[in-house]
Chain A
């Protein structure tokens, strides 16, 4: 008797799980993202629109990864533009100066960034709060200075050309082609991230954010997971950097600057910490805004800074989570 009752309970739980699964970010969210990507493209009337959308996609890839680190695991990084820049320059240097195929260069960049972030992660992530912010900031600035000063390799502040991208013979030679490529990579990135969050690793990461000591008492090796997610987020940044280099065709060290790191963090926080789709929204709004409001150009810093402060003061959860809370409150 008791057994069947329990089974019935299990069955109900499973049915409930299945029903919520269809409404979960993994299905509904990714479906909506794909839909937006397809529909949006019908409204594009010129290459400028595509250009903005591609830049949004590339920023979003970085931000989704960075959000795993900042929003989910609760570890700040003010230096991820360094990894973005290393990925970009690996692709640029290996294809342009050494004639490597773009895909091999991209992977070489991933290996470089993976190894570097792994080596740095352990000592850096032992630090907490402001000390962690300072260490990641220092790391990013050092990378940016190296890219600026190694003129023979990178062309220094004047920049360097990057050959076209190609993938097994196919080359995205138009804005729409790049749009589909970047969108595809973004969707995969989002999918992988959602899966990761909803796994034992993802819960361990969120536990690190919630209470490190409590996570440890149930067997979570907090250092290991912090290192893991630091490396994963660095790899996402490197991948986006490589694509960015090929897309723009010309690279300057601005990509690795401190301010670029800050912009990524701002997108994550503005869109909503611990919200994968929030990062996509954050990247979209903050990339598109300056592009479309060119009138504001002189006031860009002013508006950007103000927006950032206001968001953090009045909407500390970020744009998307705050909107969701608002909508839920309206619904019965």
Chain B
């Protein structure tokens, strides 16, 4: 059983292969991480899966249907949502409204009903407000309920993006470096949140540089290098792969690999 199947996927930018002949699949209900050095094509891959970029060749199937080249909003309807490495917050709205936009697909959207404030439209809006405030609490942002989005600290904005994506009720949630720029406590909170989301039945795909986080929570890891698949497997398998240590971590980073190894082992022991 697979939720997402990527086959021979390639994306070229003016002769440079950002993603090249990539094949992998993602099982539902898992936490799947994509790692690799900077420029390995991780964000490009996210942009391809979410329809921000159109693939140069290859196929992406979601829930058994071909989705490559479909517009982003349509993929959201099918159940793919995401967060961004460079924050894409609606800074012209409150935190709550940001999440309410996430309810867009689950609300009535008639122009006349909205302009004339039909009772049904008002009720639907109230329900969306309710759901959004629950989601803010779910990601731990209840104290920012009435705050303008631009007044939130960086770490909170990362979680706001997750709440907004969750509001769309996705089957597949792609998180692009959710812990980047966060301190140890915030990273731990994000870690917990991701596990909570996954436990709720949402398949999570993660791009992350924090190896401790990745090794700790991933069911499956895909390693990219120069747009190509270096290897994939469980944390255990990837950690032990000499190619990964050589190509990704580099010779001098062996000690760091050791640290990540320990952290991963620690979590598994629980």
The answer to A–B direct touch (Cβ < 8 A) is yes
Residues of A at the B interface (CB closer than 8 Å) are: 10, 13-14, 17, 192-193, 195-196, 198-204, 206-207, 209-211, 213-222, 228, 232, 274
* Given A203-B100, A203-B101, A219-B105: A210 and B73 interface contact (C-beta under 8 Å): no
Instruction: Give bound CA distance, A10 to B105, whole Å.
Output: 23
| Stretch in contact with the other chain, from B36-44, B125-133, B186-194, B211-219 | B125-133
> Chain B: which residue is nearest A13 at the CB level?
B133
Q: Is A206 within 8 A of B104, CB to CB? A: no
* Given A214-B89, A217-B76: A207 and B101 interface contact (C-beta under 8 Å): yes
Q: Is A219 within 8 A of B116, CB to CB? A: no
Q: Is A220 within 8 A of B52, CB to CB? A: no
> Chain A: which residue is nearest B117 at the CB level?
A195
Interface SS majority for chain B: helix
A-B contact pairs, 21 of them (CB 8 A): A199-B114, A199-B121, A200-B107, A200-B109, A200-B128, A201-B111, A203-B97, A204-B101, A207-B104, A209-B90, A211-B89, A214-B161, A216-B51, A216-B71, A216-B73, A217-B76, A218-B101, A218-B105, A219-B76, A219-B104, A219-B168
* Given A192-B116, A200-B114: A216 and B101 interface contact (C-beta under 8 Å): no
**Residues in B neighbouring A207, C-beta threshold 8 A:** 90, 93, 101, 104
Q: Is A217 within 8 A of B117, CB to CB? A: no
Q: Which of B119-145 contact A (CB under 8 A)?
A: 121, 124-126, 128-130, 133
The number of A-B residue pairs with CB atoms under 8 Å apart is 117
* Given A210-B90, A210-B91, A211-B88: A218 and B117 interface contact (C-beta under 8 Å): no
For the complex of A and B, list the 4 residue pairs with the smallest distance between their C-beta atoms, beginning with the closest: A210-B90, A199-B114, A216-B72, A214-B88
> Chain A: which residue is nearest B99 at the CB level?
A218
Instruction: Give bound CA distance, A107 to B76, whole Å.
Output: 38
Residues of B at the A interface (CB closer than 8 Å) are: 50-52, 71-74, 76-77, 81-82, 84, 88-93, 97, 100-105, 107-109, 111, 114-117, 121, 124-126, 128-130, 133, 161, 164-165, 167-168
* Given A219-B73, A221-B73: A206 and B105 interface contact (C-beta under 8 Å): no
> Chain B: which residue is nearest A204 at the CB level?
B104
Most interface-central of B101, B102, B128 (chain A CB within 10 A): B101
Q: Is B73 within 8 A of A222, CB to CB? A: yes
**Residues in A neighbouring B111, C-beta threshold 8 A:** 196, 201, 228, 232
Instruction: Give bound CA distance, A214 to B128, whole Å.
Output: 18
**Residues in B neighbouring A192, C-beta threshold 8 A:** 115-116
Extra 11 A-B pairs, beta carbons < 8 Å, given A199-B114, A219-B77: A14-B126, A200-B124, A201-B111, A206-B90, A211-B88, A213-B84, A213-B88, A216-B76, A217-B82, A218-B104, A222-B73
